[in-house]
Each structure stands twice: as structure tokens, then as C-alpha cells.
Amino acid sequence: MKTCTLGLLVALFAPCVASAQSSLNIPGPKTQRLMLGEWSTRIQYAVSKDLPKGGMAAGEEKWYAGPGGNSLIEEYREHGIAGDISGLGVSWWDSRAKGFHVVWCDSTDPAGCKVLNGLGRWEDNDLVLASKDTVDGRKVNFKEIFSEISATSFTQSIYTGEGDGELKLLVTIRATRKTP
């Protein structure tokens, strides 16, 4: 009986979930809607003090619209050189600030979650997120760029640096759409 009830609920509500996932009510270029869906990822870590030889990982991302299409949700999983990482991101448009706020939670953050203190903005067809934080008394800058966004792929480039110094590439994630 439980299996039949669950099957009926899935049959009734699956179309609603599917349509909610494809509808965004957030200002931005058409390319932001292309990011909705499920993606396989290849992650390239640059040489750093934590990874002196750099390294590779694989994973997956899932992007979908939040309630009412007023937010964008990302689920993230990665397996590789940096271990098993899982993350959840939620972004929403702030019409007064004319940018996106982002909350990012992941299994490598001792605090669990953080709110990026910068705003995300579209620069042509690239989504650029930036944040400045203090970590162990040091000023740390963070920048993430989503570029080359198409119906079948996109690239995420993550940069970091200290103080007013140059930002250095930390991670490049290449996403390829999973086939249904």
C-alpha cells in the first residue's frame, strides 16, 4: 500500500516540480536559464600550498529554481584529490542593490555556511561572484566566474588572493549537461 501511495504522489507532483525547475523570475540574460538542470563536472585544482601538485576530481551539480522562481539553488558533489565534498548554494536577486546575494554551505567549511559579502552580477554573459573576508586575521579575496555558458556546458573559475594582492586561479570546473 505504501508503494502505491508513493507512486501516486510522485505521478501527481512530478510535473509541478519539473515546471518549477525551469522557471526563473530573476533579472538576467537568457544564459542564466541555460544553467538549470543536471551536470557532470571535471574539476582541475591548480598548484597551491595545500595541493603542491594540483589535482583532479569529478562530480556533479544540479541547478534549479527555488520557490516561485525567485531564487536559484545549486547542489554540488565532488569526489577526488580534495576528498568527498558536498555543497549547497542559494542565490537571490536584490532589486535595490541590483545584484545577487549568495549563501554557500559545504562539507569543508568548519562553520558550515557563509553569506558572501559581495554581490553577484552578470557581466555580459558571465556571472561574476566576489567576496572579501577575514580568515585568521588575514584579508582574503574570492572571485568566481561562470563563463562559456551554453545549453551543453559551462565553466566555473574560482580565484583567491590575500590583501590587495593578485588573485590566483584556484579551481577550474568544467560542467557538461547530463543527458536525460
CATH number, domain of 165, equals 2.40.128.20
Mean pLDDT, rounded, for 43-69: 94
74-106 in b/e form (b: 16+ CB < 10 A) is: bebebebebeebebebbbebeeeeebbbbebee
Residue 19 has pLDDT above 60, yes or no: no
- Whether the CB-CB separation of 60 and 23 falls below 8 Å is answered with no
Mean pLDDT, rounded, for 151-176: 94
pLDDT band at 50 (very low <50, low <70, confident <90, very high): confident
Residues 108-156: tens digit of each pLDDT = 998 899 999 999 999 989 999 999 988 888 899 999 999 999 999 999 9
- The grid cell for 80 is 577526488
- The grid cell for 93 is 536577486
Number of structural domains in the chain: 1
Decide: residue 172, CB within 10 A, 0-12 exposed, 13-18 middle, 19+ buried. middle
Q: Which domain holds residue 130?
A: 2-177
DSSP letters, 13-69, are HHHHHHHHHT---S-S-THHHHT-EEEEEEEEEPP-SSSTT-EEEEEEEEEEE-GGG
**How many Å apart are CA 118 and CA 94, to the nearest integer?**
12
